[in-house]
Amino acid sequence: MLAIRLTAEPDRLDVLVLPVRPAPGDATSAEPVPAGAMLPTGIADEAAALVGPARVTGRAGQVHAQVRPGGTPARLLLLGVGEADEAAWRAAGAGLVRATRDETHVTVALPADLAPESVRGLVEGLLLGSYRFRLGDDPDAPTLTGVDLAVAEPDAYAQAVATARTTAEMTRLARDLTNTPSSVKNPEWFAAQVTDAAADLPGLRVRVREPEQLAAEGFGGIVAVGGGSASGPRLVEMDWHPADARTHVVLVGKGITFDTGGISIKPVPAMKLMRKDMAGAAAVVAATLGAAALKLPVRITTLAPLAENMVSGSAFRPGDVIRHYGGLTSETTNSDAEGRLVLADALAYAVQELKPDLLIDLATLTGANAVALGTRIGALYSDNDRLAGDLLAAIDAAGESAWRMPLGTDYVEHLGSDVADLHSAPTQGPGSVLAALYLREFTGELRQQWLHIDMSAPSWCDRDDAELTRGATGWGVRGLLRWLATLS
């Protein structure tokens, strides 16, 4: 990860970055933002003279590089910061790391009286835009290793930089877990990653249930879905319980380490990216590690039901009836609707044994998420307006995106089954909504305290775009951490 340093006395000025913003009332021209720290004499005037001839507009993330043979700096970079709010600075940070991947070090002259949130955005943009996933050597790896942020009062920004660093580090961890091939990340491996990561964080406990314990305690959904794989299922339970906590949140994440669809096997195009089917688990686990690293004063219990949905002689079948934790039963007519089966166990366990104040789940649950909302927006469901509003606001502030969807009662009738309490995969009706309605049946007394996000679509992106990089996005980590930081 890039080393980012705040400094009042920039001592490396070979590559200097000056922020520029659109000129007021003129979208085609720009002006440099006055810097807060001492800079080489004349450099600000030089930048001001450059913007016109170089056609710099100040759009967030735009970079213009001016070479100055024999000078200090040797290269002057004009960095567009647009509206100069947190989101624009995030885009600027991402644009900057993309434009400077072949440098080794750059110094950014931050404006005077910059808001700490803007520095948070900048640092997240730098650290997320420079993410790459690669197994083994990377001959094309960027050479940029250090960014100095020059500012008159570094102490005023230390907290913002630390928060941004933890947020980005955990988002990068979620991306790593999600990008990892499924030949590596079976449930046992995933659980070991969580245990290892938590070992560095005092006060964070992790318990992993093995297949035998899951069967003995009645986690029938996890056992059924994991039954077809040579790599048995696991349930990871993390607990962050600071002494000053008043609110108890349970986070649940779908952790299907590969989804073939099972006996109801997926066709080739639908299966090729199914190593990402644990992105919900990766997000809640990473957010919990982040909350512990930031010592947030809120109790968090995190559940990651992990299973590989495979095709084999021991796989569960369409038509099987599954008994979930606590006793509700599901008729499974389609083994590809496996996510809701493992989530049902985890939700029921949370309601019956953990009794939290709030219950949140994230899952790459249905292809219908993308049909409804495209590739960038999560589908958010809750009967609790306040909770939905709070999560939407936190997700938006963090630079992620979700849209609230209806839990229309009209569709509940599709969940009826002749042979079990519930039908897990109705063939009629809106897919993402039906999955949410099915999950709601397992929330018992906590129905009003529950919120679900179908994040199938935004968990992945197919091209670099601002702070997103091709592949896993780590969606949810940033929004969850923002929201958790508002609780106590």
Max CA distance (Å), the chain: 82
Q: Rounded to whole angstroms, how far apart are CA atoms 408 and 386?
A: 18
Residue 336 interacts with Mn ion (CB under 5 A): yes or no: yes
Q: Shortest Cβ distance from residue 421 to ligand BES (Å)?
A: 18
Total H helices, total E strands in the chain: 14, 21
* Contacted entry of Zn ion, Mn ion, ligand BES, none for residue 238, CB cut-off 5 to 8 Å set by kind: none
Residue 277 interacts with Zn ion (CB under 5 A): yes or no: yes
H-only helix segments in 84-134? 86-99, 116-129
Cα 375 to Cα 45, 70, 183, 369, 389, distances in angstroms: 43, 47, 26, 8, 22
Q: Of the candidates 103, 148, 237, 259, which one interacts with Zn ion according to CB under 5 A?
A: 259
Q: Which stretch binds Zn ion (CB under 5 A): 35-43, 137-145, 250-258, 451-459?
A: 250-258
Residues binding Mn ion: what is the number (CB under 5 A)? 3
Contact 21, 78 (CB under 8 A): no
Which spans of this chain sit near ligand BES (rule: CB under 6 A)?
A: 259, 277, 334, 336-339, 364-368, 425, 431, 456
Q: Which stretch binds Mn ion (CB under 5 A): 106-114, 131-139, 159-167, 254-262?
A: 254-262
Q: Rounded to whole angstroms, how far apart are CA atoms 302 and 313?
A: 32
Rank residues 130 and 366 by Cβ distance to Zn ion and give the closer one.
Answer: 366
Q: Shortest Cβ distance from residue 357 to ligand BES (Å)?
A: 29
- Among candidate residues 340, 440, 478, 482, the one labeled active-site is 340
Count of CB atoms situated within 10 Å of the CB of 67: 9
- Helices 339-349 + 431-440 axis angle, to 10: 30
Rank residues 237 and 454 by Cβ distance to Zn ion and give the closer one.
Answer: 454
By rule CB under 5 A, what string of x and - marks binding of each residue 419-448 to Zn ion?
Answer: ------------------------------
Residue 454 interacts with Mn ion (CB under 5 A): yes or no: no
Rank residues 90 and 423 by Cβ distance to Mn ion and give the closer one.
Answer: 423
355 is catalytic: no
266 is catalytic: yes
Cα 25 to Cα 14, 28, 374, distances in angstroms: 33, 9, 33
Q: Rounded to whole angstroms, how far apart are CA atoms 331 and 40?
A: 72
> C-alpha 465: how far from its chain's center?
15
Rank residues 10 and 339 by Cβ distance to ligand BES and give the closer one.
Answer: 339
* Contacted entry of ligand BES, Mn ion, Zn ion, none for residue 431, CB cut-off 5 to 8 Å set by kind: ligand BES
Q: Rounded to whole angstroms, how far apart are CA atoms 474 and 21?
A: 30
Q: Of the candidates 124, 148, 259, 390, which one interacts with Mn ion according to CB under 5 A?
A: 259
Q: Shortest Cβ distance from residue 137 to Mn ion (Å)?
A: 34
Rank residues 57 and 309 by Cβ distance to Zn ion and give the closer one.
Answer: 309
Count of CB atoms situated within 10 Å of the CB of 403: 14
Which residues are tagged catalytic?
Answer: 266, 340
Summarize as ranges the residues that interact with Mn ion (CB under 5 A). Answer: 259, 336, 338
